[in-house]
Structure 1
Amino acid sequence: MDFTKNYSDKGMKKEKKSPGKRRCALMTQAGFKKITRRDVAREAGVTETIVSYVLNNNRYVNTDKRKRVLAAVEKLGYKPNTAARALKGKSLNHIVFIADQIVTEHFSLLLSEMDKRAYDLGYMISLCQNRNTEDFVNSIISRQFDGVIISSISFSKGYIRQLIKAGIPVVLIENRDYSDVENAGKINNGLYEGARSFEAILETLPQIETTLDQVFSEPYDSLIFTGCGTSFYLAQTASYLWRALNDTPAIAVPCSELLFFPENYIKGNQTLVLPITRKSCTTEVRQAMDRVHEIPGVSSLAITCDADSSHYNENYILAPETAEDSVIMTRSFTSMIFLAEILSMHVSGHEEMINAMRDYPVEAEKLLKECDGLAEKILREHPEADLFVTLGQGAYYGVSNECMNKMKEMGIANSEAYYSMEYRHGPMSLVDENTFLLLLSNEKTRKTDEDLMEQMRSFGGVTCGLGPDTDQMRGLDYALKTPEAYSELQAAALMGLIGQFLGYYISLRKDIDADSPRHLSQAIVLK
C-alpha cells in the first residue's frame, strides 16, 4: 500500500500539498511550531503593531508593554524572519567578507577576530571568495547586505565603486593602493605612512639641527653607528653616509660586538657612539650602551623613534610619528635613514643638500605607489620565484641587506643580499629561472650594474632595477626610475621601499601575516 497518498472521504480524490505545507505539517507532527509575531502579541497581551514597534525600536512604547513583549520573545524563542525584513528594506545585520584566499591559518585568525567583534555588536559575517565578475557584484547588491569588507589584491576597483554607489558601506583592507577610491572605510597596512613620517621630520628640523650643533661642538676621534637586526643594516648605510661627507672615521658595528668586545672598536680618546633603535627597551642596545659608557671618552647620540632613548644616552634625535603596531620595521627604518642623511649633511655643512629634500614627502608618496604596483606585478607574473637576491653598492648596501631582511621575515622567503660586484664570486651559481634579482643602482655604478644584470638574465634569472638610469639600462626585465634630483646620498631613504612591498606581496602569496611573523617581536627583551 502507498502510504504517501492522502484521500478525502468524498470521491477518494488525491489532495496535493506544496513542499512548504508538507514541511510545516511534518514539523507540527514532530512537535515543532514556527513562532510568529502574532504568537508574541497574544502571549504579551498586546497588538502585533506594538510587537513590531518594540522589535524595530522605532516608536515609543511604554515600559510595561515593552517588558511584556521582550519577555514573550524570550519565552517563545521568537526569531524575526530576515528574508521578510530584507523585502521591507530593513537591516539584516549581515556583513559579507570578500577575500582572495579563505582556507589558510592566517585568514582564519583574521576572520575569527572580526566575527567575535561583529557578533558582540549584533552582526553576522558571511565569508565569500572573490569571483571578480559582474554577476557576483549584482548578487551582493541584490541580497541587501549591511556592509562589505574586502581583502583582495585583484577585486576590481570598478566593482568596489558599484557597491559604494549602491549605498552599501564598504571597508577596504589596504592590500594595495586605494587612494583613488572614495567614500569607503580603509584599514591601512602601514606601508603608506612613510611619506608622513618624512614630513614630520622636516617639521622638527630646527630642533634636530640644534641638537646636532650641541653634540658636534667638540671634535671626535671616531664615530660608531650601532644597532640590532634592521637597525644594524641601517647603521651600515648611516656610517657610509657619514664617511662620504665628513673626515672623521666612522664604522658600523652590531650592538652585540660592542657588548662583548668594546675595546676592539673604541680606540680614540673621544668616541661618539650612535645607537639606532625603534624601541628603547631592546636588551642588547641598552646593555651595549651601558658597557661602552664604562670606557672613558665615550658619549652617545641616539637616532631613534622612541624618546625614552634619553634614559641611556646623553643626546638623541627623534623621528616623530613613526609608531608601528607591526612587528616589522617599515616606516621607522626609512625615517631613521632620513635622520642619518640629515645628520651627515648638516654636520658637514651641506645645507643645500637638505634644502633640496624639502619635497621628499611628495616624492616618497609617488614612489610608494610605483613600488606597490611594481612589486604586485612581479609576484603575480612570477609566482614560482623561490630565491630573492638584492644587490647594492655604497649607501645602498645596507639598504640591500634590509630588503633581504624584509622578504625573509615578512614572506618567510629564501632571500640574500650582497655588494653588487661580489655576487659573481660564488653566489651566482644559484641563479636559475626561479631566481629574482633586485638591483639598487646609483649614478656611479651604472655600467657594471648593467653588465651584471645582463649576465644574470642569461642564466635565467628575473631581473629588476631601481635607480636614476634604470629606464635606460640593458639586462632588466623590470625597471623603476628614481628621482634624478637626488644623489645616492639623498635617495637612500627611498630605496628600501621596494623591499618592503616585495616582502608584503610574498606574504600575501603565501597568506602569511606580514605584521606578525613567526618567532618575532617588536623588540628583543632578554631576561
Structure 2
Amino acid sequence: MHTYNEIMTQADKLEKTNAIVQAQEFNEDAVDITLFTGCGTSFYLAIAAARYYQAVTGDLALAVPASELFLHESTYILPSKSYRIISISRSGTTSEIIIALKHLEGATNIKTMAVTCNGNTPMAEITDEVIALNDISEKSVVMTQSFANMLYALQLYAAKTSKCVEILEQLNKVPALVRAALENGEQLKQVTEDATKTRFIYLGSGAYNGLAKEATLKLKEMTQTECESYSNLEFRHGPISIVDKETVVIVFTQNETKEYDQALVKDIQKLGGFVIVIGAAEEQLQADLVIRLSEELDDANRLNEVIPYFQILAYQRAVFKGFDPDKPRNLTQVVSL
C-alpha cells in the first residue's frame, strides 16, 4: 500500500530534507510578524511550525488558514506591520493558497515563502522564496511523510534563522530517532484492533496541539472514526464528559506539562477511558500504555519523533476496520475550488 510505504520510509526522506534546508540560503530581512498558512493538514502543520518558530527565534509568529487571508484580510494584515507569509502546500497548487498569495501580491509590507513538495508550481512562482522538497512525491491521498518533512524543514529553517547551533545539532538527530519510532508501532494494536474502542481523542499543547489536530485528521481520513483533539488541560472543561469505556485518549506529554498530565490521566481512567501517553515520560508516570521517547532531544525538537505513532495508529485502525487507506472516502489528493 502506498500509505504504508510512505509512512515507513519517511526517515530516509528526513535525511534528504535536512541536507536541502541546511544547504539553502534564506532572506534574513526582519519582519514584525511571520504568518504560517495552509489548508487541512498543512494548516495543522502551520500551527505546530508557528509555535515552534516563535519559541526558537523569539519573533512573533501566528498560524492562519489560507482562506482567511483573502476572506478576512484586515483581521490578519495590518498596514502598519511588516509580514513574512510562509505558505505550505504539498502539491503547490492548493486553490486557497494560490488565491491568498495572488490577493496579497504587490503589498509592500509582505514577503512570501513557499514550502512545498513540488517546486515547479504556481505557488512557487508567486513567492519570493521557496523550500522545495521535490524528492517527496506521495501517491497516497492522505499526507504522511510530506507532513513530517515539511514540518522538519520549517524547524530547520527556524533554527538557521536563529543561528542556534545547539538546536541544529538536536535536529540532526531526528531522522535516526524517527527510524527507531517506525519500528515501535506494534504495541498500538492493543487499541487499534480492539472493536470495543470506538472513540479516539488526542491531547497536545503548544506546538503539539498542531500534532494533535493532525493526528485526529489522519484517523478521520483513513477510518471515519469519531475523534477529537484538544489542548491537554482544556479537555477537562467540558469535553471530558464524553469519556467512557469505549474511549481512547492519547496524551502527548512534555516536560512543561508532565506535572499536570498524571492527574489528567487518572481523571480519564476513573471514567473508564483507555489512556496512551507518548513523550519523554518519567518512570513514575502511569497510564494504560506509555510510549517513552528518547531523552536526547528537547520537547520542541522531537515533534517528528511523535508523528510515526499517530500515523501508524490510523493505518492500523483502517486495516482492522476493512478500509483501504489509499482510498479514503470523499477525498482527493488536491482540493480545488
TM > 0.5 between the two? yes
Q: Distance in 2 between matches of 1:518 and 1:419?
A: 28
Query: In the alignment, which residue of structure 1 is the partner of 2:156?
Result: 342
- The residue that corresponds to 2:206 in the other structure is 394
Q: Is the 8 A contact 1:301 1:313 kept in 2?
A: yes
**1:374 aligned to which of 184, 187, 194:** 187
Q: Which residue of 1 aligns with 2:328?
A: 517
The answer as to 2:174 corresponding to 1:331 is no
Structure 1 unaligned spans of 5+: 1-172, 176-187
Give distance in 2, aligned partners of 1:487 and 1:415. 28
- 1:197 maps onto 2:31 in alignment: no
For residues 399-447 of structure 1, what are the alpha-carbon distances to aligned partners after superposition, in whole Å with 9 as ceiling and x for unaligned?
A: 0000011111111110100000000000000000000000111111101
C-alpha distance in 1 between matches for 2:32 and 2:21: 26
Partner AA of 1:368 in structure 2: L
* Structure having greater relative contact order (Cα 8 Å, sep ≥ 6): 2
The letter for the 1-side match of 2:60 is P
Does the Cα contact within 8 Å between 1:396 and 1:495 map onto a contact in 2?
A: no
**Paired position in structure 2 for 1:353:** 167
Quick one: which of 285, 307, 316 aligns to 1:496?
A: 307
Q: How far, CA to CA, are the matches of 2:83 and 2:307 in structure 1? A: 29
- Give the match for residue 253 of structure 2: 441
1:317-362 Cα shifts (integer Å, max 9, x gaps): 1234221000000000011111111111111121221122323222
Residues 32 and 83 in structure 2, CA contact (< 8 A), matched pair in contact too:
yes
| Distance of 1:508 and 1:384 partners within structure 2 | 16
- Among candidates 97, 112, 125, match of residue 311 of structure 1: 125
Name the counterpart of 2:58. Answer: 247
* More off after superposition, 300-309 vs 397-406: 300-309
Query: Partner of 1:417 in structure 2?
Result: 229
Once the 2 structures are TM-superposed, how far is the Cα of residue 374 of structure 1 from its aligned partner?
A: 2.4
**Partner Cα separation in structure 1 for residue 42 and residue 292 of structure 2:** 26
Distance 1:310 1:339 in 2: 16
| CA pair 386-199 structure 1, distance change in 2 beyond 3 A | same
Q: Is the 8 A contact 1:393 1:419 kept in 2?
A: yes
Hey, what's the Cα distance between the residues in 1 that align with 2:320 and 2:283?
28
* Structure 2 SS opposite 1:238: helix
- Match of residue 274, structure 2, among 453, 457, 462: 462
Out of 267, 282, 288, the position equivalent to 1:477 is 288
Question: Equivalents in 1 of 2:288, 2:134: separation in Å?
Answer: 38
Alpha-carbon separation, structure 2, partners of 1:260 and 1:443? 38
Contact persistence 1:456–1:463 (CA under 8 A):
yes
The residue aligned with 1:257 is 68
Q: Deviations over 1:133-179 (max 9, x none)?
A: xxxxxxxxxxxxxxxxxxxxxxxxxxxxxxxxxxxxxxxx699xxxx
**Equivalent position of 2:35 in the other structure:** 224
> What is the Cα deviation at residue 316 of structure 1?
1.0
How far, CA to CA, are the matches of 2:19 and 2:182 in structure 1?
Answer: 21
**Structure 1's 294 and 374: CA in aligned 2 closer, same or farther, altered over 3 A?**
farther
Give, in whole Å, the separation in 2 of the partners of 1:365 and 1:261.
Answer: 42
Contact 2:208 2:252 in 1 (8 A): yes
Q: Which has the larger radius of gyration?
A: 1
Q: Distance in 2 between matches of 1:470 and 1:522?
A: 40
Equivalent position amino acid for 2:50 in 1: S
With the length of structure 2 as denominator, give the TM-score of the two structures: 0.95
Task: Tell me what 2:94 maps to.
Answer: 282
Alignment partners' CA distance in 2, 1:377 and 1:410: 18
Q: CA deviation at 1:248?
A: 2.3
Separation (CA, whole Å) in 1 of partners of 2:128 and 2:202: 36
Q: Per the alignment, in what secondary structure is the counterpart of residue 356 of structure 1? A: helix
Between the two proteins, what is the percent identity of the paired residues?
A: 27
**SS in structure 2 at match of 1:496:** helix
Rounded to whole Å, the distance in 2 between the matches of 1:439 and 1:352 is: 28
Alignment of 1:115-126 (within 5 A): none
8 A contact 2:248–2:274 mirrored in 1: yes
Contact 2:52 2:155 in 1 (8 A): yes
Specify the code of the residue in structure 1 equivalent to 2:128.
E
TM-score normalised per structure 1:
0.61
Whole-angstrom distance in 1 between the partners of 2:251 and 2:111: 37
Q: Distance in 2 between matches of 1:482 and 1:320?
A: 30
The answer to whether the aligner puts 1:506 opposite 2:322 as a matched pair is no
User: Relative to structure 1, is the Cα distance of residues 235 and 426 closer, same or farther in structure 2, using a 3 angstrom cutoff?
Assistant: same
Deviations 1:41-62 (A, max 9, x none): xxxxxxxxxxxxxxxxxxxxxx
Q: Residue 49 of structure 2 corresponds to which residue in structure 1?
A: 238
Alignment check: 8 A CA contact 1:470 1:480 kept? no
Letter in 2 for 1:377: Q
* 1:372-401 CA-partner distances (Å, limit 9, x unpaired): 212223223x32111100001111000000
Q: Match for residue 384 of structure 1? A: 196
Alpha-carbon distance between aligned partners in 2 of 1:245 and 1:203, rounded to the nearest angstrom: 20
Deviation at 1:472, TM superposition (A): 3.2
The 1:307/1:328 distance shift into structure 2, 3 A limit, reads same
- Work out whether 1:298 is the aligned partner of 2:110: yes
